[in-house]
Amino acid sequence: MTPSDLQNRILFKDQLIIIIDKPAGIPVHAGPSGGESLEDYFGFLRFDYKETPKLAHRLDRDTSGCLVLGRNDRALRKLGKLFENGRVRKTYRAIAAGHVKDDTGIIDVPLKKIKLAKGWSMQPAKKGEDGAQEAVTHYKVLKRMDGFEHHSGACTLIELYPQTGRTHQIRVHLQSLGHPIVGDWLYGVNPTRPETFERLYLHAHAIELPLYDDRAPVRVECPFL
């Protein structure tokens, strides 16, 4: 990735934060086995600052869209409190397989982490079950379709508002409705992540941060499809 590649993905920049449009297919940070990650290129986003921007939160490897970086330690501390206290409003968009029946709804399904033969996954759990974490997602159907450029079957463009921030929450919640996200290699029809695939159609569409006491919240949107 060149400096211009990443800089062209900047959606918002001020003295405290940078918000970029994260591309799908690259992890935001290196995992236990190492490998390329988006963090490798954050030095391209220093501009006139001595500090290299750092992640204020995470997006999955195959998720695209709004990713917030703090430009210094002061910003990261402030962002950390906003995320920790649930004051950041996130909006996702996804293309779910099949036609989702209800125009709006709330998915209130706890999640727990399950070990697999290779790796792990998140699975629905019962309330009060050992290891279960509360997970709530609100949703609104935007459009029901009979396919699009990269998918020939019935599908639904859906907007999602996670009330909690569990790992893989939206992916598992849509699977629990019987409508996994198109291209979801883990919670859809594929047992393992293929070497190549079109993409996971999950996108961090917008984010709203009450970053300053004397200004309106910073709200940034990122186009999807």
Q: For residue 62, give the nearest of 220, 190, 162 by alpha carbon.
A: 190
Beta bridge partners of 137: 107, 162
With contact defined as beta carbons under 8 Å apart, do 63 and 183 qualify? no
Q: Which of 21, 60, 62, 184 is catalytic?
A: 60
Whole-Å CA distances, 42 to 72, 95, 109: 13, 30, 36
Structure tokens at 87: 């004051």
Q: For residue 7, give the nearest of 17, 20, 23 by alpha carbon.
A: 20
**Residue 60 a catalytic site member:** yes
Structure tokens at 181: 């996200």
Indicate which residues carry an active-site annotation.
Answer: 60
